[in-house]
Amino acid sequence: MTNFVNLWVYLSGSPLLWLTTTLLAYLAADAISAACGRHPLANPVLIAVTFVSIVVVASGTSFPAYFAGAQFVHFLLGPATVALAVPLVRHLPQVRRALVPMLVALVAGSATAIACAIWLARAFGLDRAEILALAPKSATAAIAMGIAEKMGGDPALTAVLTILTGITGAIIVTPLMNALRLRNYAARGFAAGLTSHGIGTARAFQVDPLAGTFAGIALGLNGLLTALLVPLLLPWLLN
């Protein structure tokens, strides 16, 4: 037991430990998701987050210590986002034909996501700081955290709410679209990316490449539009 404790103390001080833990957690989560036939409830991000959270809490590791090792995965979010341009080029004709409907849906969806978040937060009696953290939840995490910080919200809370929004959207998007009998994968993907950012986009790619392409477009455009709309709508919606 003493040798095990000494080994753990040594490994816990190495950034490689938490990078390895994160990668192994996702590989295990993805295997579970595949074994479940990619069922919406078997979301690999949700499963991996659960695995990593259990290990971090059980080991008494602080978040800064964990992030020191896992930050390389965080760095890869940038190249992964840029790589979304590849399917965009492959489906460029479909994108051009849907340009006007996409822009209309973008404005309507982004404004609705912000307004609903603020109105629901007020209805449940949340304070101003919590409302500011919740307002940009449908943008991708990096943008949402920046918006919240500039507006006076808590970026850490925004990160949690943004991830929860993405996981929830990824879980319900397929059953919801099937229930609505919406068969257009471009529309399905755009809705997933607009409301559930990167996690919803990953789910869209699992369902159909065209859906993933439009989800990636919505992810990028909604991040930009949310950064513009939140400061404009917030004073009006809070009054």
Task: Please provide the DSSP assignment of 170-229 as one string.
Answer: HHHHHHHHHHTT---HHHHHHHHHHHHHHHHHHHHHHH-HHHHHHHHHHHHHHHHHHHHH
Residue 108 lies in a domain: yes
User: How many whole angstroms separate alpha carbon 176 and alpha carbon 173?
Assistant: 5
Cβ atoms < 10 Å from Cβ of 71: 13
pLDDT of residue 140: 83
The residue out of 21, 40, 71 marking a domain boundary is 71
CA angle 147–49–188, rounded 5-degree value: 65
Under a CB-based contact definition with an 8 Å cutoff, are residues 204 and 189 in contact?
A: yes
Same domain, 99 and 214: yes
pLDDT of residue 103: 92
pLDDT of residue 95: 85
Residue 78 lies in a domain: no
pLDDT of residue 92: 82
pLDDT of residue 13: 57
pLDDT of residue 98: 86
Residue 166 lies in a domain: yes
Angle at which helices 209-238 and 141-151 pack, to 10 degrees? 10
CA 165 vs. chain centroid, Å, equals: 7
pLDDT of residue 84: 73
Residue 190 lies in a domain: yes
Same domain, 33 and 143: no
With tokens 């920046």, the residue in question is 146
Containing structural domain, residue 141:
90-239
Same domain, 174 and 94: yes
The residue out of 38, 71, 104 marking a domain boundary is 71
Residue 193 lies in a domain: yes
Say how many domains are in the chain: 2
Q: With CA atoms as reference, report the closest residue to 143 among 65, 76, 222.
A: 222
pTM, whole model, 2 decimals? 0.78
Residue 111 lies in a domain: yes
Same domain, 195 and 100: yes
pLDDT of residue 108: 93
**Which residues does the chain have with pLDDT short of 70?**
1-15, 78
